[in-house]
Amino acid sequence: MGITWTNKEVVHLLLRAGFGSTTEEVNACVALGREETVRRLIAGEALIETAPLTPFEQLHAEGKKSLDPLQLADQQMYWLYRMVNSSAPLVEKMTLFWHGHFATANYKVKDVTLMVQQNTLFRNHALGSFKELVLAVGKDPAMMIWLDVNRNKKNKPNENYAREVMELFTLGIGHYSETDVKEAARAFTGWTYSEKENKVAFNSKQHDNDTKTLLGETGNLGSDEAIDVIFHQKSLTTFLAAKLLTYFAADNPSESWVQQVAGHIAEKATIGEVLSELFLSDDFYNPALRLSLIKTPADYVAGILKMLKVTVAKGHAQAMRRMGQELFSPPDVAGWRGGTSWLNTNLLLARYQFAESITMQITGKKLVSPELTPQRPQLSEEWVKLWSERLGITNLSDKTLQGISGYVEDTVVHAKMKNAGLRGLLQLILISPEAQMK
């Protein structure tokens, strides 16, 4: 373990393994050390003492209005509330990962209760066995509706689920044939979901009991046996390793790093153990990786709310939708594309508008509080550095630092009424290039 463990390493970890950090969390994690911080993240244990989450039925939206469990917007708000306030941030981050990985959208499912039920499934399996999660997803009502599993019958198999389980969930394109899709579809026949009874069942009369050959293995394969065969493929660990590294570590991880993580996936029983190895590795803390990934809208919105301790509102989840990430509604079976697609002109404008709205919610008392006042307030750069650190930005470019410092010089350092200038400072930092990165 060759790296030092300072606030910069902690901020980097909590941006990737959660949704940003408060000053209290950073200080606590520095004191805890790397091993204990990672252990707590993986175990879902609180980093600092926090209030328990308010149950859905007890949380109120603006105007003290109770949330309606059947309204998508209310469920979106509650999930965002969990991202901001959960004492197990990695669990929420992995719940979001699985939501994009096993992308399922309410615009086809048309049942908010089933979408929330699937969300709970992802949360319960967030850091557990990948194989157990794949098996459970195949019998999840929302997924069954999404990929037309009810239409997959003996003598007339539907290939939607069979194709996606290999292409998008486990192996990746190029590691199976069209024949494998047909054979897997036969193996998955017979499973049904009754919306009327809200029940998943197996109809043996609609299952193809004939011999099948899938990915080179032959037998009277059913759904569980087909998943067994898929999990025998070496490409599975490589596929998942690349996705995890791209999500948590680097846009283009090296092949050697991918293979190292693939080895951990093959050896370890759970995703939590795999991520523990990653978060304890020196490679993960390479300074070149800091602020090298573009924040998702969830990262951006939840992070700002968390770091500024702003109460979550419905409009915040709606702002995420305008930024291109509507919870419970990924665009298609491949999920959100991520990367630079988050920063096209319209989506970037939505981030700027959100930042402006947030600055108007911060009280003047908080803006001039001692914790946001540098020790040398006569130096404009000190204001920029302090506020950037409070917002999880440990590395500001010289161009950004100079540009915002010039603004602070005129509107804060040499101004009698500082509130307007401080609000502007906050907004400029929130829309800076560095604030879009993690």
pLDDT digits (tens, 9 = 90+) for 241-277: 999 999 999 999 999 999 999 999 999 999 999 999 9
**Which pLDDT score is estimated for 61?**
87
Q: Which two tokens stand for residue 130?
A: 């990948």
Query: How does the average pLDDT of the chain come out, rounded?
Result: 97
Residue 354 CA to residue 435 CA, distance in Å, equals 13
**Which pLDDT score is estimated for 65?**
85
* pLDDT per residue as tens digits for the range 146-162: 999 999 999 999 999 99
**Which pLDDT score is estimated for 154?**
95
* 396 in Cβ contact with 402 (< 8 Å): no
Question: What is the band of 205 on the pLDDT scale with cuts at 50, 70, 90?
Answer: very high
Name residues whose C-beta falls within 8 Å of residue 167's C-beta, 6 or more positions apart in sequence: 173, 176
Residue bearing the bigger pLDDT, 63 or 232: 232
- HEC assignment per residue over 411-427: HHHCCCCCHHHHHHHHH
Q: What is the mean pLDDT of residues 390-411?
A: 95
Q: What is the mean pLDDT of residues 107-114?
A: 98
* pLDDT per residue as tens digits for the range 319-340: 999 999 999 999 999 999 999 9
**Which pLDDT score is estimated for 62?**
82
Query: For residue 219, what are the β-bridge partners?
Result: 212
What percentage of the chain has pLDDT greater than the value 90?
97
Closest CA to 346 of 324, 316, 375: 324
Question: What is the band of 184 on the pLDDT scale with cuts at 50, 70, 90?
Answer: very high
* 20 in Cβ contact with 307 (< 8 Å): yes
Q: Cα–Cα distances in Å, from 136 out to 207, 227, 265, 368?
A: 19, 11, 19, 51
> Is it the case that residue 1 has pLDDT exceeding 70?
no
Residue 94 CA to residue 174 CA, distance in Å, equals 26
Hey, where are the domains in the chain?
363-438
Closest CA to 367 of 326, 297, 426, 428: 426
Q: Which two tokens stand for residue 37?
A: 């911080």
Question: What is the band of 359 on the pLDDT scale with cuts at 50, 70, 90?
Answer: very high
Residue 177 CA to residue 136 CA, distance in Å, equals 24
